[in-house]
A = this chain, B = another copy of it.
Amino acid sequence: MGGDHAPEIVVEGASEAKIRYPDIEFIFFGNKKILEPLINGKNNLSGSEIVHTDEAINSNDKPSYVIRRGANTSMALAIKSVRDKSNAMVSAGNTGALMGFSKLFLKTISGINRPAIVACFPTKQGEVCMLDLGANIECDKNNLIQFALMGQAFAKIVIGVKNPKVSLLNVGEEEIKGFSYIQNASETLKNLSKIINYCGYIEGDRITEGLVDVIVTDGFTGNIALKTAEGTAGFFTNSLKEALKKSIFSKLGYFLAKNSLEGFRAHMDPRKYNGAVFLGLNGIVVKSHGGTDSFGFANAIGVAYDMAKYNFIEDLKKKLSITTKHLDL
Contacts and interface: CB of A to CB of B under 8 A. Distances in A.
A204 B267 CA distance: 22
Contacts of A179: 137-138, 220
A187 interface: no
Contact of A227 (B204, B230, B254): B204
B232 A260 contact: no
A309 interface: no
Nearest to A240: B264
27 contacts: A124-B235, A169-B224, A171-B219, A171-B223, A171-B224, A204-B229, A204-B231, A205-B231, A206-B227, A207-B228, A207-B232, A208-B231, A209-B231, A221-B224, A229-B229, A229-B231, A236-B268, A240-B240, A243-B257, A243-B264, A249-B259, A250-B259, A250-B261, A252-B253, A253-B253, A253-B256, A253-B258
Contacts of A260: 243-244, 246-247, 249-250, 253
A223 B231 CA distance: 16
Interface of A: 123-124, 134, 137-138, 169, 171, 178-179, 203-209, 217, 219-221, 223-240, 242-244, 246-247, 249-250, 252-261, 263-264, 267-268
A178 B249 contact: no
Contacts of A225: 204, 224-225, 228
Contacts of A227: 203-206
A177 to B, nearest CB: 8
A204 B220 contact: no
Contacts of A233: 232, 236
Question: Which 8 residue pairs of A and B lie closest in terms of their CB atoms, listed nearest first?
Answer: A204-B227, A253-B257, A253-B256, A250-B260, A205-B231, A246-B260, A204-B228, A205-B227
Contacts of A232: 207-208, 228-229, 232-233, 236
Contacts of A264: 239-240, 242-243
A209 to B, nearest CB: 7
Contacts of A220: 171, 178-179, 221
A227 B239 CA distance: 20
Contacts of A219: 171
A256 B263 contact: no
A194 B158 CA distance: 52
A123 B235 contact: yes
B231 A171 contact: no
B171 A137 contact: yes
A252 B256 contact: yes
A12 to B, nearest CB: 26
Contacts of A171: 134, 137, 219-220, 223-224
Contacts of A223: 171, 204
A262 to B, nearest CB: 8
Contacts of A256: 249-250, 252-253, 256
A179 B220 CA distance: 9
Given A206-B227, A247-B259, 14 more contacts: A137-B171, A203-B227, A204-B223, A204-B227, A204-B230, A207-B231, A229-B232, A232-B236, A246-B263, A247-B260, A249-B260, A250-B259, A253-B256, A253-B258
